[in-house]
Amino acid sequence: MRVVFVGVGEAFDETLPNTSLWVEAPATAGTTGTADAGRRRTVLLDCGFTAAAALFACPALTEADRATGPEAVWISHFHGDHYFGLPYLLARWHEAGRTAPLAVWGGAGAEGRLPAVVDLAYPSLRAKLTFPLCFAAVRPGEDFSLAGLAARTAVTGHGAPCLALRLETGAGTLYYSGDGAPTEACRELARGCDLVVQEAYGLGAGIAGHGSVAEALEAARTAGAGTLALVHVRRELRREQAGEIRRLVKDSEVRAYLPEPGEIFVVN
């Protein structure tokens, strides 16, 4: 499993692109036909208004992957810093002549909210796309296949309905929080994951609708996570108190870090 941090920033960080992850891994056993067994599958997790441009400039992605995109896109919730980059993506892949189908997944309302933002940006784009496009919604706790990777979700403690995602691949397991403090269901969803990517907007608990570094460390510890990546950290906090964040990490029982845009995490 190879995870590229396309962006790691919060909504309004002027220096770090919105949090967005590119995931590539072999399919989970039993989710695809025999002919597809072991084939590399690709998924993009979230793409906000500043993440789309970052994807096309990301040096950790091949030129072919940037030009044609992944097999599926996952949208954790309907805030602009998590899905307003979708029209940009579709228009660029259309210009590049993509022909492979694309599935865009999200929570309740995805079939309406996702095409609406595309039509608002480019009213005629969907009618002329060079590739088949579909939108699909999933319920919390429901098992589904995301581009051949076994997936399941749980509701986070965010201000808007947000689904954390667990991906089981043929080469490792990933938990991605989207936004919000980890709930009990999220901790269970993250149990035993090789990589837990958790929103940590604040330093300590108590920020309405958001998680924190302290909560992320405790959730990763109780879940037995292999590695914790702290993302979506409040811009002033990351710039001015990075040393304190690293102290909390050092004093914890968790292997954790602050990824940078373009950084790669690999599970063999």
- Which one-letter DSSP state was computed for residue 18? B
Q: How far apart are CA 22 and CA 6, in angstroms?
A: 7
**Domain 2-266 has what CATH class?**
alpha beta
Tokens of 12: 């309004």
Task: Look up residue 190 and give its two tokens.
Answer: 């993250």
Tokens 């702290």, residue?
A: 230
pLDDT at 236 over 70: yes
Cα 154 from Cα 66, distance rounded (Å) = 29
Predicted TM-score (pTM) of this structure = 0.96
Angle at 188 between CA 182 and CA 194, to 5 degrees: 90
Domain segments of the chain: what residues?
Answer: 2-266
Residue 84 CA to residue 201 CA, distance in Å, equals 20
Determine the distance from the C-alpha atom of residue 216 to the mean position of all C-alpha atoms in its chain, rounded to a whole number.
16
The structure tokens 């995490």 sit at 265
Q: Which 8-state DSSP code applies to residue 30? A: T
Judged against a pLDDT cut of 60, whether residue 34 lies above it is answered with: no
**Helix residue ranges, H only, the chain:** 51-57, 63-68, 80-83, 86-95, 110-121, 125-128, 184-189, 213-223, 235-240, 242-251
Read off φ and ψ for residue 242, nearest 5 degrees. Answer: -60, -35
CA distances from 261 to 16, 110, 176, 178 (A): 7, 27, 16, 17
DSSP characters over 180-243: SB--HHHHHHTTT-SEEEEE--BSSS--TT--BHHHHHHHHHHHT-SEEEEES--HHHHHHSHH
3-state secondary structure of 5: strand
Look up residue 135 and give its amino acid. F
pLDDT at 33 exceeding the cut of 70: no
Which pLDDT tens digit goes with each residue over 179-231? 999 999 999 999 999 999 999 999 998 899 999 999 999 999 999 999 999 99
Continuous segment of H or E residues that includes residue 88: helix 86-95
Bridge partners of 25, per DSSP, are 41
Q: How do residues 70-129 score in pLDDT, each as one tens digit?
A: 999 999 999 999 999 999 999 999 999 999 999 999 999 999 999 999 999 999 999 999
Share of the chain above pLDDT 90, in %: 94
- Reported confidence tier of residue 242, pLDDT bands at 50, 70, 90: very high
Whether 8 and 17 have beta carbons less than 8 Å apart is answered as: yes
Q: What mean pLDDT, rounded, does the chain reach?
A: 96
Summarize pLDDT for 253-267 with one digit per residue, the tens. Answer: 899 999 999 999 999
